[in-house]
């Protein structure tokens, strides 16, 4: 599904989406996905890589947890979530297509006066990597003196690096810390597991205080 493909006549399947590449003459190729088409000359490979689910350009992803995660004082818990992703197709440095693998949903995070529109998703809580195209690994640490619970997570995704295997995409490792009653989320930019391939330079994004 994800990776670098040799340029030749072929079908590439990404989830339920089919990409068709046709070599119309030596070195001249036509790209088709549904109603999206492009024609290009030259090149040896085409890259099909995961991208953060920015949709219409949102900066945040909000995932509601289908069950609460509860952690005692001074303890931590590692879990996984399903997450929406997008797919970016490029030739060299030129992006020729970007598409969704899942239906887009958005929500207002915060109040109408000072809130922000976020990409929205619901996920179960898993103790191992789920069989799903998009995955988030979360390390939740409770540094406060009382029990804490987490029922949703919000983090920055705009321009985030992604990691992938052939069959699955991962957001960077997310660290959630309770120092008081407000959890702080850090998109570390680091790979959540070993032997994953980054889509670009590994850089962290700003921390996000989940005030709501």
**pLDDT tens-place string over residues 194-211:** 999 999 999 999 999 999
pTM of the model: 0.95
pLDDT for 42 equals 86
Contact partners, residue 164, CB within 8 Å, separation at least 6 = 2, 3, 49, 50, 170, 196, 197, 199
Mean pLDDT of the chain: 96
Q: Which of 66-70, 90-94, 110-114 is most confident?
A: 66-70
Report the share of the chain in percent with pLDDT over 70: 100
pLDDT for 24 equals 94
Here the tokens at position 45 are 């490979």
Q: How confident is the model at residue 143 (pLDDT cuts 50, 70, 90)?
A: very high
SS3 content of the chain, % helix, strand, coil (to 5): 0, 55, 45
Burial of 51 (0-12, 13-18, 19+ CB in 10 A): buried
CA separation, residue 7 to residues 10, 45, 56 (Å): 8, 5, 30
Q: Cα(60)–Cα(21) distance, rounded to whole angstroms?
A: 33
Contact partners, residue 40, CB within 8 Å, separation at least 6 = 28, 29, 31, 91, 96
pLDDT for 112 equals 86
The residue written with tokens 């889509």 in the block is: 199
DSSP letter (8 states) at residue 126: B
Q: How large is the average pLDDT for residues 102-115?
A: 91
Asked if residue 113 has pLDDT above 90, the reply is: no
Here the tokens at position 173 are 């490792």
Q: Cα(79)–Cα(17) distance, rounded to whole angstroms?
A: 29
Tally Cβ neighbours within 10 Å of residue 85: 26
**pLDDT tens-place string over residues 175-185:** 999 998 999 99
């Amino acid at each position: 599904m994800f990776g670098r493909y040799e340029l030749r006549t072929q079908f590439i399947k990404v989830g339920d989406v089919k990409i068709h590449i046709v070599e119309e003459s030596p070195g001249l190729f036509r790209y088709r996905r549904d109603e999206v088409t492009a024609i290009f000359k030259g090149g040896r490979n085409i890259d099909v890589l995961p991208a953060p689910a920015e949709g219409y350009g949102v900066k945040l992803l909000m995932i509601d947890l289908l069950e609460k995660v509860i952690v005692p004082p001074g303890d931590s818990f590692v879990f996984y979530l399903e997450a929406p992703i997008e797919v970016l197709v490029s030739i060299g440095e030129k992006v020729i297509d970007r598409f969704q693998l899942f239906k887009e949903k958005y929500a207002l995070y915060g109040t109408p006066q000072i809130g922000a529109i976020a990409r929205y998703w619901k996920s179960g809580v898993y103790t191992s990597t789920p069989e799903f195209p998009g995955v988030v690994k979360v390390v939740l640490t409770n540094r406060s003196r009382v029990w804490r619970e987490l029922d949703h997570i919000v983090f920055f995704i705009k321009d985030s690096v992604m990691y992938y295997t052939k069959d699955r995409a991962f957001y960077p490792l997310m660290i959630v810390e309770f120092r008081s009653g407000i959890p702080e989320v850090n998109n570390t930019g680091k790979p959540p597991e070993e032997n994953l391939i980054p889509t670009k330079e590994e850089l962290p994004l700003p921390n996000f205080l989940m005030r709501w």
